[in-house]
Structure 1
Amino acid sequence: MRIGINASGMLGNPDLKRLETQARTAAEQGFASFWLAQATTIDALTVITALGRSVPNIEFGTAVIPTYPRHPTTLAGQAMTTQAIINGRLTLGIGLSHKPMIEGLYGMSFDKPIRHMREYLSILMPMINQGEANFDGETLTGHGAITMPQDTTPCPVLVAALGPQMLRLAGTHTSGSVLWMVGEKTIKDHIAPRVCEAAAKAGRPTPRVVASLPVCVTDDTASTHSRASKAFAMYGQLPSYRAMLDREGSAGPADVSIIGSEAQVKDRLSAIAEAGATEFSAVEFCKNDDERNRTREVLRSFI
C-alpha cells in the first residue's frame, strides 16, 4: 500500500510557502503522493501546478474537485495543463460533492447525480485520453478538443465513489476510487469488491483504491477522539458518509479515525491495506510536535 499525505486542512488558511515546505518534506521523506481538496476559494489545481514546478519526485493529487461547478471540457483542459507543467505527476480526483453544497452554495440542481457523473465522465475521459470529446447527454453536452505538448501523458482520474452505482462507474471508466471516512471493514466488504468487479468486466487494470482518514499517534486517545468528534462531525451528517459509517458499524467519524499508540496505528494501517486499499492518504490530526513526529514516523514505516 502506497502512503501519501493529504494536506487539504491547510487550505482553510492557505500559506503557499508552508504548503511548499510540507510537499517538499513529504517528497524528501519518501512519501508517494501529496493530496489537496478543492476548497470553496483557493484553486487546488493551480496550487498543485505551483508546487509541482518546485517539488520533484512526488505525485500530486486532487481529493477531490466537485464536478458540478466545472464543465468537464474546462476541467480536462486545466488538468492536462497541470499535467504537462508538472511532468506527468497529476492524479485527478473528482466527486459529486453533496446536495447541501451544490444547491446551497451554487444554486445548482443536484437532481440525477448518477446520470450527471456518467455523462461527466463521457466527456472528461475522452477529452483527457484522446484530446477530444463529442457527446450530447441529458444533463451535459461536450464538443471540442484540447491540444497539448506531444509528450504529455493523460492523467489518471479517480472518482469519489461510495455507493454501488458510483463504484460501478469508477471501475468501468476510470483508474479507481478515492475515499474519505471509510473504514477497513467497508473497504473489504463493499468498496474493493465492487470497484474491482466493474474494472474486470470493463477489461480495465486493477483499480486504485485510495483510502483517507485522520491519523494521530498519541498517548491521549480519549482527548484526541473527542477533538475528532467535533472537528469531523459534519461528515457523520452527510448521507453518503453516513451510509459508509453505518456499514462500518461506527457511530461517527471519530470512530473510523486512526487514533492511538504506535502499535495501534500500525495495526489499523495494516488492516486497511489487507482490506484492499492500494494507497493511503493520511490526514495528520495532531495537536503538537510530539504527536506530529510520532505520527509521521509510523507512516514512514510503511514506505
Structure 2
Amino acid sequence: MRRYDADPARPDVRAPGPEARSGLMRVGLLDGAQRDRRPATLDELLARARLAESLGLRSVWFSNIFGHDAMTVAALAARVTDRIEVGTAITPTYPRHPYAMAQQAASTAAAARGRFTLGVGPSHRVVVEEMWGLSYERAYAHTGEYLSVLVPLLRTGKVEHAGTRFTVRAHLTSTDGLPVPVLLSGLGPKMLALAGTLAAGTITWMVGARTLRDHIVPRLREAAAEAGRPAPRIVVELPLALTDDVAAARELAGRMFKSYAVLPAYRAMLDREGATGPAEVAVVGDHDAIGEQLLRLAEAGATDFNAAPYALGEHDARLDTCLRALVEIGARLSAPLPLSVERSS
C-alpha cells in the first residue's frame, strides 16, 4: 500500500489543523509557468483547461509572464468549462491601477460564474524596472496600499482610500454579487504578513516542504490569527515530471527553470530549503514517488498543490497521463475547500 493511501486522519500526518481544513490538499494545474520549447497558443491553454476538468482536477491556474494575459485566459477557460476553479498565478500589480485590477477581476468572476480566484503580486525588480521602466522602490508599501484598495472594491463594491501611492474614492458596479478571493504571492516575512492580514492566503513558487513548514505556514497563520481572519489558503506551485528517469528530469528542471534561481525572492526560498536550484524542489518521479512528495507538502501545511508539468523528451509522460496520475493521487490528499475560508476577500 502506498503511504499516501492511508487514512487522511491518521495521527502521523501534520495537517494544517482543524481551523483550516478537514482534510489534506487539493490538486490542480498551473499552466504557463513551464519553459516549453514554444509558448502555448490560446487554443492550447483552453484545451488543457477542458482536459483538466474532464479528468477531475480541482483547479487550473494561469501564469502571467510574457505571454497571454492570465485573467483573459481565465475568463475564456471558465466559459469552456463548467465546474473547475480558474485562477491567476500571478497577475502583477505594478502595470495595473488597483481599480482597473478590481474591474477586470470582477468581470472575470462573472464570466466564471463565481469560480475565479485572483492571485496578485508585485513581481520582481528586474521585471518592473528594467522591462517596464517603473520604480520598484518600497514594494512592500506598494503592495499593502494596493490590497487596501483592491480587496474592499471586490468585497463591497466601493472604497475610500487616501494613501501615499493611491488616493481612490470609487465604486464598482460590475461585481454581479460574486465573491472574488484574492491571494498574494507572499514569500518574505513582511509579504506573508500582508497575505495573512489583507488577503485570503498566499501562492508560492520554488518553495519546498521544509520552508513551507518552518517559514511560510507559521508566519501566514500567525498574521491571519492576529488580524482575526479565517485560516489562510496556502497554494503551493512547483514543476512536476512523471517519469522513471529521475536524474534526467531533475537535470532538465535545473536548466529549464534556472532563471528562478537568481531572482532574489526565489533565491531566498531555495536557500532556506538548502537547495542549490529548482532541480532540488521540483516534484519528480513515478506515481509512488510523486505521491510521497505531495504528501510531504500536505503535511507541511499546503491547502493546495498546483503542478507545472514540464517536458522530458522521449521520457515524458503524455500530459493526460500525468494529469490522470495527479487526479488519482489528489483524490487521496484532497478535501473540499475549508468552510472557514472567506471567499469574498
Q: Tell me the TM-score normalized by structure 2.
A: 0.84
Deviation at 1:16, TM superposition (A): 2.1
1:78 matched residue in structure 2:
104
Q: Tell me the TM-score normalized by structure 1.
A: 0.95
2:317 matched residue in structure 1:
290
Pick one of 209, 218, 223 that aligns with 1:198: 223
1:229 matched residue in structure 2:
254
CA-to-partner distance for each residue in 1:30-87, whole Å, 9 max, x for gaps? 1110000113342111111111112111000000011011010000000001101210
Question: Matches of residues 205-224 of structure 1 in structure 2 within 5 Å?
Answer: 205-224=230-249
The CA RMSD measured in Å over matched residues stands at 1.6
CA-to-partner distance for each residue in 1:216-265, whole Å, 9 max, x for gaps? 12121111111111111111101110110011010101100011222221
Kept in 2: contact 1:215–1:295 (CA 8 A): no
Letter in 2 for 1:245: L
Higher relative contact order (CA 8 A, sep 6+): 2
**Identity over aligned pairs, percent:** 42
- Structure 2 vs 1, CA of residues 63 and 224 (structure 1 numbering), >3 Å: closer, same or farther? same
Worse-superposed segment, 268-277 or 196-205: 196-205
Kept in 1: contact 2:55–2:324 (CA 8 A): no
Letter in 2 for 1:192: V
Letter in 2 for 1:40: F
CA-to-partner distance for each residue in 1:266-285, whole Å, 9 max, x for gaps? 11100000000000010012
Letter in 2 for 1:216: A
Question: Matches of residues 239-254 of structure 1 in structure 2 within 5 Å?
Answer: 239-254=264-279
CA distance in 2, matches of 1:217, 1:149: 40
Where does structure 2 lack aligned partners over 5 or more consecutive residues? Answer: 1-24, 332-345
1:91 matched residue in structure 2:
117
- Structure 2 vs 1, CA of residues 20 and 130 (structure 1 numbering), >3 Å: closer, same or farther? same
Pick one of 71, 75, 78 that aligns with 1:45: 71
Deviation at 1:139, TM superposition (A): 2.0
CA distance in 1, matches of 2:159, 2:66: 28
Pick one of 294, 305, 309 that aligns with 1:269: 294
CA distance in 1, matches of 2:41, 2:66: 16
1:32 matched residue in structure 2:
58
Letter in 1 for 2:111: I
SS where residue 290 of structure 1 aligns? Answer: coil
Kept in 1: contact 2:33–2:65 (CA 8 A): no
Higher helix share: 1
CA-to-partner distance for each residue in 1:141-173, whole Å, 9 max, x for gaps? 2221110264x3220000000000000000011
Kept in 2: contact 1:218–1:291 (CA 8 A): no
Kept in 2: contact 1:266–1:298 (CA 8 A): no
Where does structure 1 lack aligned partners over 5 or more consecutive residues? Answer: none
2:148 matched residue in structure 1:
122
CA distance in 2, matches of 1:245, 1:68: 25
Q: Aligned pairs, how many?
A: 302
Would you say 1:15 and 2:41 are equivalent positions?
Answer: yes
CA distance in 1, matches of 2:111, 2:323: 29
2:29 matched residue in structure 1:
5
Would you say 1:169 and 2:194 are equivalent positions?
Answer: yes
- Structure 2 vs 1, CA of residues 45 and 171 (structure 1 numbering), >3 Å: closer, same or farther? same
